[in-house]
């Protein structure tokens, strides 16, 4: 299947993809500790399964049972999974009607196999890349009182989000099981995840250098020369103190400690260092 064929939809396909796209927006509407997004996933699939198998048929209830189990992935990436499973359900119906066999256990198995890798890709893209880039752009403008700050934040986060939701749903529905098996076999998923993670780390480093500021003002006369502590740190590595503070906070928060305690500690240390003439 060529790229154009994969993205091209006829009238009926566009109607199905559009409805699935909007229903996917509610994936996090009902979550639980036992099934996470499983209940909402079943609700999402219900009207499509009714259309495939008929309302109140035994096949419909069997299909609903397949889609009410535990499920958890990045919401923005679920369009691909839900569209792909619908494509497989349609394939199952066609084969059964022709008297051929289709292993329906492959459908929930594929869901389980996909939700982990796609969750990793989705989290890397949305949490480590888009949100970080949007925050970096918005903070600089917001500090200047520019209304474009929050507007650009919303646009940078949500426009790619919606585009990815739409096109992954289209690809999932059109490509069927062939695309995902080839992507896993070729290592495409691993490459995307690693690339997004690296980009997120680069943006985090850039934001640290831009927005975390801490310089020491300590100076002393030693043997007729002026000792400047900040020059010593700069000679070791420019931005060493802001980086050290960021990494200390990161290590503290990574142990699931309360962020408020870190903020209070930084505030207290800032006051003490200013009074002692170390910083200010």
- Write down the pLDDT at residue 193: 58
- DSSP single-letter state for residue 216: B
- Write down the pLDDT at residue 178: 58
Whole-structure pTM value: 0.63
Q: What is the 3-state secondary structure (H, E, C) of 18-74?
A: HHHHHHHHHCCCCCECCCECHHHHHHHHHHHHHHHHCCCCHHHHHHHHHCCCCECCC
- Write down the pLDDT at residue 41: 92
**Cα–Cα–Cα angle for 72, 76, 81, nearest 5°?**
60
Question: What is the C-alpha radius of gyration for the chain, rounded to an integer number of angstroms?
Answer: 26
Of the CA atoms within 13 Å of residue 68, those in its CB half-sphere come to 9
Q: From CA 158, how far away is CA 171, in angstroms rounded? A: 20
Of the CA atoms within 13 Å of residue 35, those in its CB half-sphere come to 16
Going residue by residue through the chain (280 aa), what tens digit of pLDDT does each one get?
555 565 677 888 889 889 999 999 988 888 887 788 889 999 999 999 999 898 889 999 999 998 988 888 888 888 888 988 888 888 888 888 888 877 788 788 878 878 878 888 888 888 778 888 888 888 888 888 889 888 999 998 889 889 989 988 888 887 765 555 565 567 665 676 567 667 667 767 777 777 788 888 888 887 778 888 888 888 888 888 888 888 898 899 888 888 888 889 989 998 998 888 888 7
Nearest to 176 by CA among 102, 123, 72, 68: 102
What letters, b where the CB count within 10 A reaches 16 and e where it falls short, cover 64-95? bebbbeebbbbbbbbbbbbbbbbbbbbebbee
What phi and psi, each to the nearest 5 degrees, are found at residue 218?
-70, 125
Nearest to 63 by CA among 78, 80, 51: 51
- Write down the pLDDT at residue 47: 92
What phi and psi, each to the nearest 5 degrees, are found at residue 97?
-65, -30
Those residues with Cβ within 8 angstroms of residue 66's Cβ, 6 or more apart along the chain or in another chain: 104, 107, 108
């Amino acid at each position: 299947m060529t790229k154009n064929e994969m993205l091209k939809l006829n009238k009926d396909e566009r109607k199905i993809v559009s409805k699935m796209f909007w229903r996917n927006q509610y994936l996090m509407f009902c979550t639980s500790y036992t099934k996470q997004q499983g209940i909402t996933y079943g609700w999402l699939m219900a009207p499509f399964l009714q259309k495939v198998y008929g309302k109140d048929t035994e096949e419909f209830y069997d299909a609903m049972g397949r889609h009410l189990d535990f499920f958890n992935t990045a919401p923005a990436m679920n369009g691909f999974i839900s569209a792909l499973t619908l494509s497989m359900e349609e394939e199952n119906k066609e084969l059964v009607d022709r008297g051929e066999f289709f292993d329906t256990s492959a459908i929930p198995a594929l869901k389980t196999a996909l939700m982990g890798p796609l969750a990793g890709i989705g989290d890397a893209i949305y949490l480590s890349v888009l949100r970080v880039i949007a925050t970096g752009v918005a903070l600089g403008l917001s500090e200047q009182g520019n209304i474009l700050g929050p507007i650009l934040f919303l646009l940078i986060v949500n426009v790619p989000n919606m585009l990815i939701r739409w096109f992954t749903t289209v690809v999932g529905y059109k490509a069927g099981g062939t695309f995902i098996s080839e992507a896993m076999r070729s290592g495409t998923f691993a490459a995307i995840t690693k690339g997004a993670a690296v980009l997120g780390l680069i943006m985090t480093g850039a934001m640290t250098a831009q927005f975390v500021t801490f310089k020491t003002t300590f100076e002393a006369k030693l043997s007729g020369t002026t000792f400047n502590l900040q020059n010593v740190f700069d000679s070791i590595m420019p931005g060493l103190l802001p980086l050290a503070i960021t990494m200390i906070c990161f290590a503290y928060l990574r142990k699931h400690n309360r962020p408020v305690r870190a903020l209070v500690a930084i505030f207290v240390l800032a006051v003490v260092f200013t009074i002692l003439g170390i910083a200010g």
